[in-house]
Structure 1
């Protein structure tokens, strides 16, 4: 449409998602499945963020306790993972090795259990939208950025987005609910929302590893990922970048073969594992984020192995681009760094067998949508972060401060995450890594106290910079987006504002999430397909049940005889809340074959038929107090002596 014919196009919908990042995909799917009309506006030609335009569909999940059995993530995310696998399993001829894999990994990547090439991920996302009803109710506008908004009486009325193409009109998106779906929080300044950026001062959140003084420009590095395949005997050396020597001087200390455990004085090999310092293994650099391993396939369409380089060599930490007027120039310099690292790989990287340079590395523009084989969009680790109703901090998740098996308990949990606190080198500050506890995502971290029809559907939620290091990964960003989409649908159906909800409303919303297969509390042995999943999750999040301080197990199918103290604990609490459970306690506790999961289903259905007691709905984030370890149903029985045997027979 000619810009002269129509200066502005008005688009109406139920939910507008401004920014089409990875979390936005989950949000859109949730809204579509609830029957809503959805509009997504996205800056780049491809929606999907990390998985597509940023060329990083190497799902960065914490291998344990994230489980192939549907633990630690939702049913929808599990479906996305399986669709990525099926793209290769059903679309290509596999080798014997590929067919024999119990959980297929197209690239045999050491960093991820599920990988895919960006166009494959885009195709899976498009199919996901179609199956969710997107053909009739979803509109996507690419190459658009938000520039203005109208807000009245705490409600966003519309958001205006402009195209980078002179032939496209501006969009005025009118919606009942708005979600921030990008990874830099571009809507926050447009909406005049307070936000966090860079490093907070230690005095603000009392985080042990925060600096004494705030450093707003100290933002994590971002990366232009490189897609390449290895063609034995080939030569695909790019032209030497004009600024190659500049980057060798400025960033050359990081030009080495990188993989977990490697460093400049102890680099990885390209194709072989090695023992590094202290005899710790260092995996091959090529297979660190490998998308396609030729060993998995017997198909002429995949003749060579393909990988993504997203390492210290192309991590750009020299400037913060967030909110800068010259952001595109900064991105241009970061892209030049990536080209220089690619040239170094092709010409100077030490070869495993001796010599230098891997000219056989062919950049793959067909995988990135950009002519140089470098991602069309930068991989953003950290942008603006909403000053939300709830701010998650280092103290909530770090093993140094959270001493139990899980991070802080949030009564308003809407999803789960698990990853180390991994903060890449920052503009003006070094990297930081800490172990973390498996953690929850509180609803309050998605919501602003300033607006009534808004939520965050990506990594720009209310977390500190340190907590962001654990909340920025694929599965967590999806979980945030899915919860935001579900909340938008719930708020519109129930005609409520997007302020923190509690009591009956919170219970109803969490019930809705759990029925959709979203976990709220960490149990490594309870999947979203478990018949007791709903009861276990909802009774745990409201703290009718305590959770072990020592492990993530629930042991749902032990008998009540094995967990009598825990059963008594549950019924004692029901007594405190004045719940009339009739003869249920006698029936399920005195019959030794009753499984604990069955007991919880009885209790949950009882509460559903009656009115949940208000004190239970008001349960707080506070710990249970001094609950003895023997309470949990994981005690290994000792052997019997003669007295025990006699008593048992009697």
Structure 2
């Protein structure tokens, strides 16, 4: 194998939501960009990981960037132009094609891929953005406090590529550039002595990391569609993690994240609910009592009769959370072994549903459940990529702690307000069971801001975090890891990198100089980045 060398202004490694947003922002400001992605689809959480967007209740009014709103509008536009919606659905401004309760916009992942590709297309046509597909970072070099190059291997047998760039953005799902480039970072739980967080343990637990999940989509149609019995099914069928309090994980029963009491959910395919009446607002209704409709991504009743044979249900439930062992900082072969085990867990849950799951009519098994590989863009019907809830996190200029966002601590004063704010977000602190044996941690939060200092490493001067690898703690990662926040982080990082290229400065210098910071923030304002929440509103979540 040989290695090609490329040079660019800004290298963005990872084309999830943060990476795509960063590429758009940097290119719009005039920088030359190379964007890379390991998996077949761009879009990360929303596409290759197949996770419908986790968003706050006010997303249709405010609290997201203009570019993120354009993405959401673009998805709806595809359905209105190309799909046979019934008239009542077509007339809804806030169209929710899946009528899922988890989000006001549940849709098929491939639609989002197309819209994201369309958003990038003009810059790719001019060459301002060059996209390197199916590439994973495997090495990096540094000189002093600067990253000088990143080497990317091909997942499809092409030559390695080494990219030299003025600025590097780590937009990977797990902060993969940080160990490669020798950048200081944190994993797992920090100690309470370090962060002062009431939900933190007394002693740091760096290997205690939230579950990852391999999602999949199913429909329910006539016939038998039972998959072959997974090799690890017998293990997973009997597995009873401590958080399940003596119940099997493969079941309709799981801990309630807020009370930790066991709760049994409903499951019944194509329930005939009123899809037009779905009001996806988790501040009023958590919505997860019915698993079929919670993350439904296609509601057949919103379309002309016969267009969809069935609703399409996205499975991202507690029963597929994989937390046997961490994957961060493990050798690549061990990491892949855990991904394979997580895929076995997801397949085992499907097999259990098809063969043993209790039905509302008193019977067992739903053999009519059928995987939709075409919806996932994969051969086996599972998501292309694992859904990582937690990443390596930079040692940042600013670290956001539970004390900055917890409603119990902050109350009506709201979250910490930052002079260097580059965006906003909102979600409860939602931590899934973890590799250390912990159950859910669920803490009410307040609408929060994204400080620029959380995107900037303490030491390295030309790398920015552009995903869930910013300066949060294990606890606050639980509310800063969601789709619109990741997008906002990437957008702010991409814009800043382009500014630094144009003006010959560094992120540290912009952050430290009030005039430069204000000018940068004014540019963000002009592009539609909301940096503070509207005043005079009552926020209850």
Q: TM-score, normalised by structure 2?
A: 0.91
Residue 623 (structure 1) aligns with: none
- 1:261 and 1:280 in contact (8 A); partners too: no
TM-superposed CA distance for 1:35, in Å, is 2.5
Q: Distance in 2 between matches of 1:157 and 1:300?
A: 56
Residue 187 (structure 2) aligns with: 197
Residue 506 (structure 1) aligns with: 517
**Residue from 61, 72, 77 that aligns with 2:55:** 61
Residue 324 (structure 1) aligns with: 330
Residue 439 (structure 2) aligns with: 430
1:149-548 aligned at under 5 Å gives the runs: 149-165=140-156, 167-231=157-221, 233-251=222-240, 253-257=248-252, 265-271=263-269, 283-298=289-304, 301-325=307-331, 326-428=334-436, 429-499=438-508, 500-523=511-534
Q: Distance in 1 between matches of 2:286 and 2:427?
A: 21
Q: Does 1:128 align with 2:119?
A: yes
Q: Distance in 2 between matches of 1:433 and 1:132?
A: 41
Q: Distance in 2 between matches of 1:16 and 1:95?
A: 44
Give the 3 Å change call, closer, same or farther, for CA 258–130 of structure 1 in structure 2: farther
Q: Distance in 2 between matches of 1:197 and 1:355?
A: 45
Residue 606 (structure 1) aligns with: none
1:27-71 alpha-carbon deviations (Å, 9 max, x no partner): 111112123221122222222111111112x111021xx2313x1
SS in 2 for 1:286: helix
SS in 2 for 1:403: helix
TM-superposed CA distance for 1:164, in Å, is 3.2
- 1:148 and 1:159 in contact (8 A); partners too: yes
Q: Does 1:38 align with 2:33?
A: yes
1:229-276 alpha-carbon deviations (Å, 9 max, x no partner): 222x23211011122111111257222337996975522233558xxx
Give the 3 Å change call, closer, same or farther, for CA 431–552 of structure 1 in structure 2: closer
Residue 588 (structure 1) aligns with: none
TM-superposed CA distance for 1:491, in Å, is 1.2
Larger CA Rg, structure 1 vs 2 = 1
Listed as ranges, the gaps of 5+ residues in structure 1 are 274-278, 524-546, 554-650
Give the 3 Å change call, closer, same or farther, for CA 322–489 of structure 1 in structure 2: same
TM-superposed CA distance for 1:304, in Å, is 2.3
Residue 633 (structure 1) aligns with: none
Q: Distance in 1 between matches of 2:503 and 2:194?
A: 36
- 2:102 and 2:288 in contact (8 A); partners too: no
Q: Distance in 2 between matches of 1:222 and 1:156?
A: 29
- 1:219 and 1:426 in contact (8 A); partners too: yes
Q: Distance in 1 between matches of 2:72 and 2:254?
A: 24
Q: Distance in 1 between matches of 2:20 and 2:252?
A: 33
Give the 3 Å change call, closer, same or farther, for CA 280–27 of structure 1 in structure 2: closer
Q: Distance in 2 between matches of 1:193 and 1:461?
A: 13
Bigger relative contact order, structure 1 or 2 (CA pairs below 8 A, ≥6 apart)? 2
- 2:10 and 2:33 in contact (8 A); partners too: yes
Q: Pairwise CA RMSD of aligned residues?
A: 2.1
Q: Distance in 2 between matches of 1:292 and 1:454?
A: 40
- 1:84 and 1:115 in contact (8 A); partners too: no
Q: Distance in 2 between matches of 1:284 and 1:259?
A: 13
Listed as ranges, the gaps of 5+ residues in structure 2 are 241-246, 274-284
Bigger mean CA deviation after superposition, 396-405 or 428-437: 396-405
Give the 3 Å change call, closer, same or farther, for CA 182–282 of structure 1 in structure 2: closer
Q: Distance in 1 between matches of 2:286 and 2:60?
A: 27
- 2:210 and 2:434 in contact (8 A); partners too: yes
**Residue from 20, 29, 44 that aligns with 1:25:** 20
Give the 3 Å change call, closer, same or farther, for CA 516–80 of structure 1 in structure 2: same
Count of aligned residue pairs for this structure pair: 513
Give the 3 Å change call, closer, same or farther, for CA 54–135 of structure 1 in structure 2: farther
TM-superposed CA distance for 1:132, in Å, is 4.7
Give the 3 Å change call, closer, same or farther, for CA 358–52 of structure 1 in structure 2: same
Q: Which aligned segments of 4 or more residues in structure 1 are displaced greater than 6 angstroms?
A: none
SS in 2 for 1:400: helix
